Structure 1
Amino acid sequence: MSTRRTLSAASAALVLAAAGCATPDSGLDAAGRHLDGRGPITYVQASDTAGVATKQVIETWNRRHPDQRVTLRQFSDVDELHDNLVHHFKAEDADYDVLGADVVTIAEYAAHRWLQPFKGAYTLDTSALLEQTVKTARYQGTLYAAPFMTDAGLLYYRKDLVPRPPRTWQELLGHCKIARERGMGCYAGQFAKYEGLTVNVAEAVAAAGGSFVKADGTTPSADTPAARKGLSLLVDAYRSGDIPKEAITYQEEESREAFEAGKLLFLRNWSYVYPLASSDGGSVVKGKFGVAMLPGVSGPGRTALGGQDNAVNVYSEHKATARDFLIYLQSPGVQRELLIKQGQSPVVKSLYHDKKLLDDPALGYLGALERSIATATERPVTPFYPAVTQAISQNAYAAIKGEKPVGKALEDIQAAILAATSEQ
């Protein structure tokens, strides 16, 4: 299941406006109220993150807890969900109890004290979860959310043409002659001007040892030699033709379709591609591809984490029920069901070593996925993420297309991030 979508410029503007008029003290006060509250709750998330299996596990909960029923409300995409949540938070509204949020929005919501912190008597046990997923749920050392689903970028490769997957960019590019000889494109990811480009560029920069924002979440670090080296990997590959020209239009689905049609030797995409490429009737690569960690500069690279964390609205009146529901969603049985029925990558460590799951041909990516998650980098962790991702995608896109030098693109990203954080 693909859960990566863009946070729009409109969302960015809304966040910046909200930061100016929100009242963090009200959230601080609300955090101490209704910790023992029980009753019906509402769970909100984007419709593209909830499959049939999600609804089935909610139905199971409701049968077991008739007095604490969960109502699922869905929004068309993460943009609509994000904007609606901000409006509700500003109004100190308790209508939504549990929020299914893209991992990159946790810092934003937590910085405004819109999420119930898990500390003191109101805690969550995260010891059974993948460590990197727990990091996405923390902000400034405090746990504000419960990891629910995760994902990582993977390298899909034609194992019938390249028996061993490349570990470095140099090795990958060395195989591009195989693609040229067969009239194929060599490498593609998601290079259209949207959130997916931010992810691909962040991974390339991380592979070179760089980042766009420092650990404090507000200081830009885009204009650095490491960031220049990382972005140049993509720019140079596009200029040389190793990334085909049409890839500048690719989002997740377009790149998947190109790989399944036999048009690419290598593809960077999410785990949802594996079962589709293995079973789609039109897939010409069925049985002919493998999956590995993304390449780096001197060894395996680092993927950006995707996924969804669930959080409790600080203004909820039924926080005890909300927490119990989050614990239920993290249980191995529920996580296993969501993996098998809708391909949702689990956050529970033990499932990545479950023999029955590992023997399932449709889940042949689990080993590579676990290794990728273990070394993953988060997308820029900042309360100002919508503005940051807009700056990265717009300027990186211009650099890849040759409309702006790499150095100038990074200078402009640095300036845009600084401007966004300085307005607060």
Structure 2
Amino acid sequence: MRQRRHYRQILLGTAALTVSALALTGCGGGAESPEARQDAAAAFEGRGPINYVSSRDASGAAQDTIDKWNAEHPDEQVTFIELPDSADQQRQQLVQNAQIESDTFSVLNLDVVWTSEFAANRWIMPMPQDALPTDSMVPAAVETATYRGTLYGAPYYTDGALLYYRTDLLQAAGIDAPPTNWEEMTAACEKVLALAEADGMSCYAGQFDKNEALTVNFTEAVGSAGGQLFDEGTPTVDTPEALAGLTQLTDAFNDGLVPSDAITYIEEQGRRAFQEGDLVFLRNWPFVYSSLTATDGSSAVVDKFGISSVPGIGDNPGVSTLGGRNLAVSPFTQNKATALDFIQFFTSEEESKARLDKSSRAPVYPSLLEDPAVVEKRPFYPTLLESLENAQARPQVVKYGATTTAIQEEAYAALTGQKDPETALSDMQAKLEELSAE
């Protein structure tokens, strides 16, 4: 039997726990220290039902793995609690649950950039030594699950940005290869959008809503212009390279290269726009591949698109932001042994391969990314491996929530014309320096 709950179902319970926690802080008696809690939790004891907390899995692949576990573990059932699609809202729910030390969440599905924050605040547990076959995983993926030399999460899937493009329209316009930079992409769009069959289409979209997705797209633009957001912990966004990256995005909106409604796009909106035939080019993650290739009539681009690396800016190669997810154990869950066993099962190479029947999320095992039988069904995996080799991580900072908010606010102000790019970057630099000094 499938067990699934939407995050709204737990909000009332979470609110009640918040009230209880606040009441307890006013009572006599000292609270257990974080160190003592961590020592007590390190044993990974306790077996029984647990909750797996994640964003929605449209493919159903994760639920299949959960169903398989539940069939084999009748006394240790896993319930799938769905969080919102927005990464920022996911993080907010997870942080709130941890701050009140609720045992509602057991296994947490975390964005790769949350490891430092959650580990530093003791909201996730360090993994036992040799709990995972990390030597068999993509090194960059393992690094995202590590904080100060200790593994705190199990790499679930890895991600690199890809450029999806309409092969049929490029061919009709006499273009033989996908663009390697923004200048080539702009020139291609001018030819494609002049075609009768491209009437009503727009050129390009990424994800530009004031959300974590904007931090990702901004980071990629800066990296693709030869810059970076931080240099050994020091903010470096008030630079010519960062200005070139942000200006490329603002110009794209101003010139109509990007449709105006893309300012509200996160990943799903962009996928739908491309899938419905409204875009020539789309920057997105590998997961959209399954939907784009659907043969049930839902995709207007089946057999009409190709995949390439994200475009560079100027003479610089395109640089993807490193994405992906890790699974971690909450120290507040009662059944930690079950949680750890479930993570080991869920992230195993065997189950990762089984999920490929439904999901195009990239596994963290190079053996699968290079498996000829897998590549036959996922022909973009070699391109993805190239993307991962050149990928840049988002800021690995403990105060990631405040850092990404500062980035989003200023980048969004530039994209919407509230500030010119120079002012936005200067203000962003000041905010990030202040956060770094705290």
Aligned with 1:257: secondary structure?
Answer: helix
Pick the aligned partner of 2:132 from 120, 124, 129: 124
- Percent identity over the alignment is 39
Pick the aligned partner of 1:111 from 114, 120, 135: 120
CA offset digits 1:221-260 (Å, max 9, x no partner): 2212221121122122333333343433433333333323
Maintained 8 Å contact 1:45/1:81: no
Partner residue, 1:340? 357
Pick the aligned partner of 2:321 from 296, 304, 324: 304
Pick the aligned partner of 2:143 from 135, 148, 151: 135
Maintained 8 Å contact 1:43/1:100: no
Partner residue, 1:238? 253
Aligned with 2:230: secondary structure?
Answer: coil
Q: Which moved more, 1:238-247 or 1:351-360?
A: 238-247
Q: Which moved more, 1:49-58 or 1:340-349?
A: 49-58
Aligned with 1:266: secondary structure?
Answer: strand
How far apart are the structure 2 equivalents of 1:199 and 1:89?
A: 25
Partner residue, 2:184? 171
Residues 285, 61 of structure 1: alpha-carbon distance in 2 compared, 3 angstrom cutoff: closer
Residues 71, 266 of structure 1: alpha-carbon distance in 2 compared, 3 angstrom cutoff: closer
Partner residue, 1:8? none
CA offset digits 1:11-49 (Å, max 9, x no partner): xxx9xxxxxx9x999443333335252412523313414
Query: What is the 5 A alignment of 1:370-381?
Result: 370-381=385-396
Q: Which moved more, 1:382-391 or 1:73-82?
A: 73-82
Residues 79, 263 of structure 1: alpha-carbon distance in 2 compared, 3 angstrom cutoff: closer
Pick the aligned partner of 1:102 from 100, 103, 111: 111
Maintained 8 Å contact 1:41/1:96: no
Structure (1 or 2) with the larger CA radius of gyration? 2
Residues 54, 258 of structure 1: alpha-carbon distance in 2 compared, 3 angstrom cutoff: closer
Maintained 8 Å contact 1:45/1:73: yes
Maintained 8 Å contact 2:206/2:282: yes
Maintained 8 Å contact 2:49/2:75: no
CA offset digits 1:83-128 (Å, max 9, x no partner): 4433443344455432122222222111212221236x46433111
CA offset digits 1:138-164 (Å, max 9, x no partner): 223322111112322210112231321
Maintained 8 Å contact 2:362/2:369: no
Cα-Cα RMSD: 3.0
Pick the aligned partner of 1:273 from 262, 269, 288: 288
Q: Which moved more, 1:199-208 or 1:339-348?
A: 339-348
Maintained 8 Å contact 2:288/2:360: no
Maintained 8 Å contact 1:208/1:226: yes
How far apart are the structure 2 equivalents of 1:398 and 1:81?
A: 23
Partner residue, 2:91? 82
Aligned with 2:286: secondary structure?
Answer: coil
Residues 140, 371 of structure 1: alpha-carbon distance in 2 compared, 3 angstrom cutoff: same
Q: Return the offset for 1:188.
A: 1.8
Aligned with 1:173: secondary structure?
Answer: helix
Corresponding pairs, count: 399
Query: What is the 5 A alignment of 1:17-96?
Result: 26-33=33-40, 34-49=42-57, 52-77=60-85, 78-79=87-88, 81-96=90-105
Partner residue, 1:293? 309
CA offset digits 1:253-278 (Å, max 9, x no partner): 33333323443322111223323223
Quick check: 1:387 aligned with 2:402? yes
How far apart are the structure 2 equivalents of 1:157 and 1:24?
A: 56
Unaligned runs of 5+ in 2: 1-17, 19-24
How far apart are the structure 2 equivalents of 1:47 and 1:200?
A: 20
Unaligned runs of 5+ in 1: 1-13, 15-20
Aligned with 2:283: secondary structure?
Answer: strand
* Matched letter for residue 125 of structure 1: P
* Matched letter for residue 80 of structure 2: L
Residues 94, 259 of structure 1: alpha-carbon distance in 2 compared, 3 angstrom cutoff: closer
By relative contact order (CA 8 Å, sep 6+), the higher-ranking structure is 1
Query: What is the 5 A alignment of 1:195-234?
Result: 195-216=212-233, 219-234=234-249
CA offset digits 1:60-81 (Å, max 9, x no partner): 2234344544343333455555
How far apart are the structure 1 equivalents of 2:260 and 2:84?
A: 31
